[in-house]
Each structure stands twice: as structure tokens, then as C-alpha cells.
Chains A and B, each alone.
Chain A
Amino acid sequence: DAGVIQSPRHEVTEMGQEVTLRCKPISGHNSLFWYRQTMMRGLELLIYFNNNVPIDDSGMPEDRFSAKMPNASFSTLKIQPSEPRDSAVYFCASSFGTVGLSRTFFGQGTRLTVV
């Protein structure tokens, strides 16, 4: 398996523009997570899905952020409108099951820069 695939790897956009980050989880995994990494706050969970259903979105900063998982093999994280403080590395991760020692696999992240 190719692992968790995220695109793009880097994104530079202007303030106010819409940004869409994409993720393809590992085939067969039924849990998907979006994390954000910044120097100040470290790695924070934004949202996670189980069987394509959002389970916990309490980490989504505000209404400008939205996430979808239309099927088991694809998810998007959208920011509209983007702001400079959204600049961060966004990770998508997936796992089979959410309990015990089930292993969480991470994509390589998308580095977002909002200017």
C-alpha cells in the first residue's frame, strides 16, 4: 500500500482565498483524522471520521473550516476564506479501528502558507 496520500504537499495562497486539502487514507482503514501542526500549539486534532461519519469536530477552529468524507477513500479539508494564522502543516491520518493499539498512519502533510 502507498500509505496515506495527501495533496498538495505545499500550498501558498493569498489571504481570503479558498484552500482545499485532500487526503486518501489507506485502503481498508475506517477511521480518518485531520491534525494541524504549528510551532505554538503543536499537533492538534481538528476532526475525525469513523466509517465516513464525523465523530468529533470540536477541534475545528471556526466556521471557516469544513471537512468532508464522501466515501471511504477520500476526504477534504477546506478553509474559506483563508487567513495568515491558518498557516501550518496539516496532517491526515488513518487507522483500522479506533481502539487498543490500532496503529495510526500519517500522511506526509500539507504545508500551507497564507500570505
Chain B
Amino acid sequence: AQTVTQSQPEMSVQEAETVTLSCTYDTSESDYYLFWYKQPPSRQMILVIRQEAYKQQNATENRFSVNFQKAAKSFSLKISDSQLGDAAMYFCAYRAGGSQGNLIFGKGTKLSVKP
């Protein structure tokens, strides 16, 4: 069974600085997709960034980028120029390729941003 592990329950960053959130996963599949979701106090799950496993190039979305290391099964999220609005829970998620469409989530990392 696939699993997703986020080893940092909490992280803190100074406003305008850069922070990296870690995520590792375990799978025997070769075709899969990885995602980072943000959950602010409003509870809304917001997709931050996504990556296809077959792509070597790391995905980027404005201030958010990933470091995808397929051999190491690692998928970390880097937030540059951190803003107060980035404070939230961040969840790493995995989805197998093929027809199985559900997301498997890590336990999350709570990010605090200090002014």
C-alpha cells in the first residue's frame, strides 16, 4: 500500500524568508502524481502545486516550487518570500496513475509565519 510521510509536524519561518517542507512517499508504482495542498484555518483545502512522476523537471507556481527526487521518493515544497497568508497546514498527497483516483495524504505540517 502506498503511504505518505511528513516528518515535520510544525515549522516556522520569518516573513520574507524561505522555508522547505519535507515529504516522502512509498510506492511500487511507476506512474503516479504528487500534490501539495494548503489548509488555512478556514478549513478549505487549496491545491498549491502538482507534479507528474514521469517529469524530471520540478514544478513551480509563483513563490512555490518542489524538489522532486524520484529515486529517493521525496517531494519537498519550497516557499520563497514567505508571507503571513502562507500560515496554514500543508498536506502532501499521492495519487496512483491509472483509474484509481483517490488521494493519499500525509499527516500534514503546520507552518507558522513570523512577522
Do these two chains interact? Answer: yes
Please tell me if A56 contacts chain B, counting CB pairs below 8 Å: yes
B-facing residues in A70-112 (Cβ within 8 Å): 89, 91, 93, 95, 97-104, 106, 108-109, 111
Please tell me if A61 contacts chain B, counting CB pairs below 8 Å: no
B47:A100 contact, CB within 8 angstroms: no
Chain B interface residue bracket vs A: 20 to 34
Q: What's the dominant secondary structure at chain B's contact region?
A: loop
Q: Which of A43, A55, A101 has the most CB of B within 10 A?
A: A43
Count how many chain A residues have C-beta atoms less than 8 Å from C-beta atoms of the other chain: 26
**Chain A residue contacts of B103, Cβ below 8 A:** 33, 43, 45, 104
**Segment at the interface with A among B18-26, B68-76, B79-87, B92-100:** B92-100
Distance, CA A108 to CA B45, complexed state (A): 7
Given contacts A98-B100, A99-B97, A100-B33, contact A42 B105 (CB under 8 A): yes
